[in-house]
Amino acid sequence: MRHAASSAILVSGWHRMGYYYSDGSYISQLLVEHIKKLHALVGNAITEGKYIVFGSGSTQLLNAAVYAFSPDTSSQSPAKVVATPPYYPVYRTQTEYFNAKNFSYEGSTSSWINKTDSSSTFIEFVTSPNNPDGKLTKGVLEGDNVKQINDRAYYWPHYTAIPSPADDDLMIFTISKLTGHAGSRFGWAIIKDEAVYEKMLTYLDVNTMGVSRAAQLRALKLFDVILEGDDGKEIFKFAYSTIRHRWTKLKETISKSKRFSLQKLSSQYCTFFKRERELSPAYAWLKCEREEDRNCYEILEAAGISGREGSLYSADNHYVRLSLIRSKDDFDILINKLNTLVAKQ
């Protein structure tokens, strides 16, 4: 809103009507360069010598990555797709929905520790910071046949300290958690291996023939505005200040209660802000502490509070995920309702 004019785009009805850019690609190379500049500015990912592909949000890229890491022939065992609870439910639902011959969802990583020396490929989703609890995580499984898909959607100064630039083999980011433009459906993957990059390109070509050029144009304009102002740091200072304030207010409210608790997050040194800082997660991973409160979601729903059940994240229903990244009005209503609920104890 502070940059309403400079971030606006006006597109003529005849502009960018074709499938491809002038180089015959579905990918704007100018946008690729802006993404590289953005990561270099923030220091959250190494892009040098790597390949970048675009997807319709991170959602499309998650399955494109599973496809790229899976065996090419039916003579090989299907890849086993796994994650560590609590985890983003799309990893499971999307893998099961596509029901492909070359990969299958095989549950929690805990079932496969010390069992990865088989002939099967293992594909492990690693989300850092994690959705829903905001913790910085690492992969669990080890071995030459283990491939990691690193979901880095929340690895921005808004939500977490940036201890060092991520240098994973395959990293996925999305504009929705950077600028908030979830409806533009734009994400990108940063990939080390050329063969994996080519397989993801094939998937995206067959699936949607690339990403909307209108979405790429909007992303380009937004990134251009970000990189122009205050050495490119204005949006990150604003976002961190906003989320930190909300997290602090929420902790103050829940600290008055013995019935509810929040996830514990440790402070870390942040290379972006050049100081130690607390994490400021996108979500509260709230727990109902009473044994009889077996469905925390229902407890909160009865108080007029909207969240997501722990079971969606393959966790216990004593947990509920609450969003801290909705509008200011939504957050204020959430705090008011929580204060009322806590006071009733």
| Amino acid identity, position 250 | L
Sheet of strand 79-83: strand arrangement: 51-55, 187-191, 170-174, 146-151, 122-127, 79-83, 103-108
Residues of the chain with pLDDT under 50: none
CB atoms inside a 10 Å sphere around CB 9: 10
Q: Tell me how far apart the alpha carbons of residues 283 and 323 are, in angstroms, rounded to a whole number.
A: 5
Spatial separation of the C-alpha atoms in residues 271 and 306, rounded to whole Å: 35
SS3 24: coil
Beta bridge partners of 147: 123
Right CATH for 19-231 from 3.40.640.10, 2.60.40.10, 3.40.50.11540, 3.30.9.10: 3.40.640.10
Domain residue spans of the chain: 19-231, 234-344
pLDDT attached to residue 114: 84
Which of these CATH numbers, 3.90.1150.10, 2.40.10.10, 2.40.160.40, 3.40.250.10, describes 234-344? 3.90.1150.10
The predicted-structure confidence for 80-99, as pLDDT tens digits, reads as follows 999 999 999 999 999 999 98
Mean pLDDT across the chain: 95
Q: What is the per-residue pLDDT for 244?
A: 97
Q: What is the pLDDT of residue 321?
A: 98
Answer positive or negative: Cα dihedral of 269, 150, 133, 141. negative
Q: Decide: 226 and 179 in contact? Cβ < 8 Å.
A: yes
